[in-house]
Amino acid sequence: MKMEVTDPVAKKRMEETQTKLNDPATQAKMKEMEKQMNDPQFKAMMEANPQMKAQMEKAMKMAQGGTMGSMMPSSFMVKLKGINSLTQMEGGVMGGMEILNLTEKNQSYSIDRSNKTFTVLQHQMAESSQTKPDVKVTKTNETTRVLNYLCTKTIVEITQNGKTMKNYYWTTTEIKGLDLTSLSKQQVGRGNQSMFYKDIEGVPLKMEMTMPEGSMMMEVTEIKKESLSDSLFEVPADYKEVKGFTGKY
């Protein structure tokens, strides 16, 4: 998984932030803030929300390292069973976080197994007042191989508020038995942009997605067929519900 910021304004802002992070005065302030986090009152507040505490600690650690890139996820694993999915993030501030998407219940959750907490995520698609994007799916004759599976390139043009973006999906029909309904419910970026569109034929092994701020490329590096426990696709009964930084998904 790779991300690139191409928007000049966003890129400049990131560069300025990177410069500030590398500044010795900023690093000193970070260390001072870390000490303040050990204040009994502040610790009590954070203990009441373990998920927020874990995310803040990760952000602080990475900020002290002085790299913006390290805050972004490096990869993720998707487990599918029936029409439900479990996405496990790796690397960055979101490292260790899991997104459980129960398509049959039309509900998603952010799960923190280390702290035994979960957050209910509201679907933006159902609530957003934005204009629904116009999506055009065009299958091409261009092919390539990913993990030795023959993949065909499909172009997805998304038009919203007068702006058109092009995304590219490399999909294969050589993998049978996968139901991708759950992926079509997941969204990335702004404007209700889906991770995968149900009108695309086959299983996506490579995706190149464009957004106003930049681009993102994802490519599958391994596929396994194995038995998955039903318990993976349930919120454990002993987990505590907490409020996250954002309530939308």
Structure tokens at 102: 């129960």
- Torsion angle (degrees, nearest 10) of CA 33, 72, 156, 7: 60
Candidates 79, 75, 97, 74; CA nearest to 182 is: 79
- pLDDT (tens digit, 9 = 90+) per residue, 51-104? 666 666 666 655 555 454 556 677 888 898 888 889 888 876 667 788 998 887
Q: Is the model's pLDDT at 191 over the cut of 50?
A: no
What pLDDT, on the 0 to 100 scale, is given for residue 249? 35
Q: Are 81 and 232 in contact (CB under 8 A)?
A: yes
**C-alpha to C-alpha distance for 188 and 190, rounded to whole angstroms:** 7
What are 9-49's pLDDT values in tens digits? 666 666 666 676 667 776 677 677 767 667 777 767 666 66
Q: Running DSSP on this structure, what letter comes out for residue 187?
A: B
- What long-range pairs does 102-105 form, CB within 8 A, spacing at least 24? 102/233, 103/181, 103/182, 103/185
How confident is residue 189, by pLDDT bands cut at 50, 70 and 90?
Answer: very low
Q: State the Cα–Cα distance between residues 75 and 218, nearest whole angstrom.
A: 8
User: What is d(CA 153, CA 131) in angstroms, rounded to the nearest whole number?
Assistant: 28
**Domain spans of the chain, in order of start:** 7-71, 75-121, 127-219
What pLDDT score does 195 carry?
55
Q: What's the pTM value of the predicted model, to 2 decimals?
A: 0.65
Q: Quick one: average pLDDT of 163-170?
A: 87
Q: Which of 22-31, 115-124, 190-199 has the lowest mean pLDDT?
A: 190-199
Distance of alpha carbon 212 from alpha carbon 3, whole angstroms = 13
